[in-house]
Chains A and B, each alone.
Chain A
Amino acid sequence: MSAAARAWDRFWFTPQSATDLAICRVLFFGGLLYQRWWIDSGPWTELDEAFWFPLRIFQILHLPLLSASILGALDQIWLLALAASCVGLLTRVSTATAFVVGAYLIAIPHNFGKTYHSDAVIVFMLGALALSRCGDKWSVDAWVRQRGRSVEPPPSGEYRWPIRVAWLLWVLLYAAAGISKIRNGGLDWVFSDSFRNILLAHHYTHTPLVGWGIVLAEYPWVCTLLAGGTIFIETLTPMALFSRYARWIVIPSLGLMQVGIGLLLGVRFDAYLLVFLFWIPWGQIGQRLAPWPESERPPRPVSTPA
């Protein structure tokens, strides 16, 4: 095996505790269930076919817009699948259902004239979890399988790669956004009034939660700093895959940036937060916060640096 192949294998499949993936499963599916609780896909069928501009993937796969009654049933099936995935009930079936049905339902609105970017990562993540063994711990399945006893599954690469997929999705998303800014906006994006105009423009077209953008726009050097910082952090995001030091800088910065966008511009990307959860080392945090003494703690999750 070549060095590159070994590095690849180490990155994706180094054995890891099931704890992080189990927590992420609960939070991801629970969060998605909360966000999509009011889903109602039926009204899309009431639009004339003149509104239907199918995505390329719908054209290739010849996917139709199903009838209102079928879509209504799919909505319910998806919510059930999300709930079952969250608690780990029939996890392989429920996560696969959540992916197949969810991908279709999430895609439907994008066939009506405009494609948004906010939920594509959710589709990929649903696919990854459908292929994973995320139900091996803290799930109804595990509880039934172990007949009520708590048995820690042995560390495995199966518990690592889904988390790394989430990392990869996050990195690809922000790196692409950074590259687009460099290609489309160039130096003007940083050194002209562009960022100031973005901060102010949203007070004409949106309803930002706070008026700080107007204040910040009065300071050109702050705008230049924020614009430069945004592109710098976004394009550096891939480093977070390979360096834990970069991770500690880049990921919280992106999290803060996302919060800042929500507050200053009134534009929210709630779906991204669900993927952000996979960056958090839940097992390690649990170890540090656990109330029992070191000697009585359960075994530390195996975590190998990338």
Chain B
Amino acid sequence: MMTPPRRGLLSGLFLLLIGGQVFDVVFKREDWPFSSYPMYSEARSAVVVREDLAGVSAGGEFPLTAHRHFAPLDDARFRRALKRVAMAKDGGIRRDAVIETLFRRYEALRAAGVHDDPDLLGVRGYTVEWDILSGAVNRGTPDRRKLHLYVYRPPAELRSRLARAATGELSTSERDARRLVPKADVVVDAAKLSLERGGERMTDPDAASGFALRLDTRPEAYAETEINVARGRYSVWLRGKTAADGDTGALSVAAIAGAEIRCWSSTIGMGNWQDAIPAGAFAWSSSAPGAPPCTLEATGRPVTLRVSPHTGRVLLDQIWLASEQAEQPEFAEAVTPAPPHAAEASR
């Protein structure tokens, strides 16, 4: 036999349950474990949006799934966490911590045998869209694909070098070291660009020629050069750095004649070393460390390259038009095209 107090207590709990649920429904709230259960409640448009993840390795991109590569996170929590972190006031600090966590989970799950994918240099998130067609016949071929997220962490060896470069601890041999790149590549020392308006050549022992270019922040400032580039497509890499005093910034690089430069983003400029590279250390970047590189489509005629300030001030050392390097370089040294006989021999 149930006593009246027990009935009263239970009735109170039932009312609490009903009240909590009704409250969330009326005010469209989510107070877990109460909910207004809004899933699938919006009228669905004829456009499907899916967010894909891609890992970046030295060999290029490969598909990632959060629940396999970053468990216990799943895809939704992975995206939501990164978005919320990006919006947080201390987003910069949190972003670094998030990136460190992601790489740690990736390695831990690889060590546990959950996956056997290659060393991870970065993660990219793409928004993939389809216009829905009858029979979903186009599901294998998205109508639009746009990068909306990228994170990058230099490999350990490079991180070590960058840290030493940032504190001026590089040895002379490290400073003088050059990476040979294919002879078809084009390398321009920024110090040799003609300074048209506002800027200076700064002495810098870590720069390829001993001098680096620093443009004024005035929008009319720019430096130019004309170069011969064989017809073809090149990835555009900039060797630059943010100043040791923490100045941040990006450059704009445009082909005034003879070519067209395309970037995945028209707003962030090029460089953006501060996203992943310590201030004061020269490193390679295209639009930003870890982001897909900007490409230059050369027609075969002489190309006029113009460099102008985008945001803040940075030091530019080299511009490298790479015929083969389509992903973030795993080194920070200056580059020089291989002499013809060396390139022949390497084939």
Contacts and interface: CB of A to CB of B under 8 A. Distances in A.
A302 interface: no
Contacts of A282: none
A8 B10 CA distance: 12
A109 B43 CA distance: 28
Interface string B72-104: 110011101100110010000011011011001
A294 B134 CA distance: 58
Given A46-B108, A51-B81, A204-B132, A180 B98 contact: no
Given A57-B31, A197-B44, A117 B72 contact: no
A172 B10 contact: no
B18 interface: yes
Interface residues of A, number: 65
Contact of B41 (A131, A165, A177): A177
Contacts of B35: 115, 117, 120, 176
B113 interface: no
A131 B44 contact: no
B23 to A, nearest CB: 11
B37 A176 contact: yes
A46 B104 contact: yes
Nearest to B2: A157
Contacts of B94: 48, 50
A43 B71 contact: yes
Nearest to A188: B43
B277 to A, nearest CB: 21
Interface stretch (B45-53, B157-165, B192-200, B331-339): B45-53
B37 A173 contact: yes
B134 A49 contact: no
A189 B14 contact: no
Contacts of B150: none
B17 interface: yes
Given A113-B81, A214-B136, A183 B21 contact: no
Given A114-B80, A173-B37, A165 B14 contact: yes
Given A165-B14, A168-B18, A185-B41, A48 B50 contact: no
A179 B31 contact: no
B30 interface: yes
A165 B84 contact: no
Contacts of B48: 200-201, 204-205
Range for the number of chain B residues in contact with chain A: 35 or more
B139 interface: yes
B130 A177 contact: no
Interface in A1-31: 8-9, 12-13
A53 B84 contact: yes
A168 B17 contact: yes
A107 B33 CA distance: 8
Contacts of B345: none
Interface in A157-203: 157-158, 161, 165, 168-169, 172-173, 175-177, 179-181, 183-186, 188-189, 192-195, 197-198, 200-201, 203
B11 interface: yes
Contacts of A161: 10, 14
A110 interface: yes
A55 B81 contact: no
B76 to A, nearest CB: 5
A259 interface: no
Contacts of B38: 180, 184
Contacts of B139: 203-204
23 contacts: A12-B10, A12-B11, A13-B2, A13-B7, A44-B72, A46-B105, A47-B73, A48-B98, A50-B101, A51-B73, A53-B84, A114-B80, A121-B33, A123-B33, A176-B36, A180-B25, A180-B37, A180-B41, A185-B41, A185-B42, A185-B43, A189-B43, A198-B40
Closest 9 A/B residue pairs (Cβ):
A120-B33, A188-B43, A113-B80, A113-B81, A180-B41, A50-B94, A203-B136, A197-B44, A48-B101
